[in-house]
Structure formats: structure tokens, C-alpha cells
Amino acid sequence: MAKADERERRRYLELRSRVAPRHPRLRNAARAFAVGGLICAAGEGVMTYFMRLGLSADQAALPTAALLVLFGSVLTGLGVYDRWVRYAGMGASLPITGFANAIVAPAMEFRREGWVMGVGARMFEVAGPVIVFGTLASVVVGLGWYLLAGPAR
């Protein structure tokens, strides 16, 4: 049979799970913790600097995020950031620097296809789902908050 039947498929999947190497979860988690922690510590450092300049914590958050995005974008352009993620996984993907990587990488990739149909149309190919479901999640959470705590006063 060129297309294996259900029983054969199940048997093969089981065989494969015995042969395939285990995902090194503990090692990956340790790396993610270390690198993610370092990126966040750098962010804290930048924010503290802005607060020393006299901004409030709320005011300092915005330029901090902007600076980290710049940092992630430049490292992506230099071809370094993908290596960080390969090493640290979510530790480097999850901070806002990783979000910058997800936008800048396709922008670089599709630049050859033109500014409009290349960069413009495909820049959000990777980050698009994050924006869509991030927005959706914030609506759901906001609605839950409204139902539980009532309208903001």
C-alpha cells in the first residue's frame, strides 16, 4: 500500500517516537531563562536611565520599547539576532526585540520584490498572527474586566 492504513500509520508513528531524539526541554528552558533575563535586564537598565532623566515610569516605558525595537532591528540587519533565537528559543523570541526581528526579517527578505508588493505586503507575514491574536486577546480580557469590575470610572 502506497498510502499506509490507519493501523500501519499508528505503528510507524510509535516506531518513530522511539527513534527520534528527545527535545532537550530542560536545556532549552535554561537558555531561554538566561538570555530572556539578560534582554529584560538590559530593558530595565534603559528604563532606569530614562527615569533618571526625569521621566515617570509610565513615560519611560515608551522610549524604552522604542530603543529595544531599534536594537532588535539592527541586530537582525547584521544577521545576528536569528542566531540568538536559535540558541535561546523563546528567551529571545518573546521580548519586544524578537517582535522587531519578526518584522524586519521579512522586510529584508521581500525587499527584492519591491517596496509595495514586497516590503509593504509581506512585512507582517510572520508577525501578523501576533498582532491579530494579540488584539483579539486584549479585547477578550477587556470584556472580562468590564463584566467583572464594571465600567471604568
Partner 1 sequence: MSALLAGPRPAARRVGAGTWTFPSRPRLVRWASVVGRLEGEGPLAAGFDEGGRGRRRGPPRGAAAAAAGGRRAARRALDGLKGGPPELHLGGDLLDQNTPTHFAARDLDIPAFGLFSACATLTAGLAEAALAVDGGFCRRVLVTVSSHHETAERQYRFPIEFGHQRPATAQWTATAAAAFVVAGAEEGGADGVAIASATPGRVIDYGISDPYDMGSAMAPAAADTIERHLRDTGRSPRDYDAIVTGDLAEVGSELLRILLGERGIELGDRHEDCGLLLYDRRRHDVHAGGSGAGQCAAVFAARHLPALRAGRLRRVLLVATGALLSPTTYRQGESIPAVAHAVAFESGAPEAG
Residues that bind partner 1 (CB under 8 A): 2-4, 8-9, 12-13, 15-16, 19-24, 28, 76-79, 81-86, 89-90, 92-93, 98, 101-102, 104-106, 108-112, 125-126
Q: Are 90 and 38 in contact (CB under 8 A)?
A: no
Nearer to partner 1, 4 or 57 (CB): 4
CB of 148 to partner 1, least distance (A): 37
Nearer to partner 1, 55 or 109 (CB): 109
Distance CA 48, CA 63 (A): 11
The C-alpha cell of 56 is what? 515617570
CB of 55 to partner 1, least distance (A): 31
CB of 96 to partner 1, least distance (A): 14
The C-alpha cell of 83 is what? 542566531
Nearer to partner 1, 51 or 93 (CB): 93
> How many CB atoms are closer than 10 A to CB 110?
18
Q: Which residues fall within 8 angstroms of residue 24, CB to CB, at 6 or more apart?
A: none
For residue 21, the 8-state DSSP code is: P
Nearer to partner 1, 3 or 52 (CB): 3
CB of 37 to partner 1, least distance (A): 17
CB of 57 to partner 1, least distance (A): 30
Going from the C-alpha of 95 to that of each of 37, 88, 107, the distances in angstroms are: 10, 12, 19
Our CA angle for 37, 134, 111, nearest 5°, is 85
Nearer to partner 1, 15 or 41 (CB): 15
